[in-house]
Amino acid sequence: MIDIINLHKSFGDLKVLSGLNLSVKKGETFSILGKSGSGKSVTLKCIVGLLVPDAGDVVVDSMRVDVNDRKTLSEIRRMIGFLFQSGALYDSMSVRENLIFSLTKHDKVERGEASGKAEHYLTLVGLKDAIDKMPSELSGGMKKRAALARALVIEPQILLYDEPTTGLDPITSAEISELIKEMHGQFNITSIVVTHDILCAGIVSDRAGVLKEGVLKYTGKLNELVKIEDEEVAGFFRNPL
């Protein structure tokens, strides 16, 4: 479903990605682990065409991500839901309005139908009672649930997560991770989760990989990665930050 081939990306003299390769199967959840600044978020932005790689290819469902091919890029983006690190809810809109915005603006869904979809997905994430609240009235965990519902309401084939548990206490972090796993089981969505949260990765991942020196050095089941005899990688699992 997602193929990243020899991906390179630099910002001036700072080389972030140095030939990253990754294949994610349909319905699989793959977690990219790595320390802050290792290029996890940059990888996601290359997948959706927000950043242009210096070299290499990103292929989504047999379509090459190319910012110069606006028609194909638009097709790809309509397949993808994105859960941002901060949730990125519109502060001036209620939870309901946040969910129906893209449905009514881009997909031209009638407002009543869009509102029904919003209620459905908020119910799935346990947040129906907050549908008319403003983001400022929500706790951190509630904001993550609302952001997940907004990502799901467009019924994507692919979901990309940028640090989905950042800023949450351990109990809420585990709850959000379990919710992500539950939604993926229900909808068979292909996902990439970038995180430094080992607990989250352990709950949601089918496979994981460690991003180090601009490439995925190791990939496999999380319990396999823990056993790798590489002191820097082992140190990451002991102290991921």
Is 84 within a domain? Answer: no
Q: Which range marks the domain in which residue 109 is found? A: 91-155
Residue located via tokens 């290819």: 57
Q: Residues 206, 184: contact at Cβ < 8 Å?
A: no
Is 241 within a domain? Answer: no
- Reading phi first (left if > 0) and then psi (alpha if -120 to 50, else beta), residue 216 is in beta
Q: Give the count of domains, the chain.
A: 2
Q: Which residues partner with 64 through β-bridges?
A: 59
Q: What is the CATH number of the domain that holds 71?
A: 3.40.50.300
Boundary (domain end) residue, out of 155, 174, 204: 155
Is 85 within a domain? Answer: no
What is the pLDDT at residue 231?
67
Regarding predicted confidence, which is higher, 21 or 38?
A: 21
Q: Residues 158, 189: contact at Cβ < 8 Å?
A: yes
Q: Is the pTM of this model over 0.75?
A: yes
How far is the C-alpha of 131 from the C-alpha of 46, rounded, in Å? 32
Question: How much of the chain exceeds pLDDT 90, in percent?
Answer: 42
Burial class (CB in 10 A: 0-12, 13-18, 19+), 229: exposed
Helix (H, G, I), strand (E, B) or coil at 135: helix
In degrees rounded to 5, what are phi and psi of residue 73?
Answer: -60, -40
Amino acid identity at 27: G
Confidence of residue 221 (pLDDT cuts 50, 70, 90): confident
Is 64 within a domain? Answer: yes
What is the pLDDT at residue 37?
81
- pLDDT digit string, tens, across residues 79-91: 999 888 777 888 8
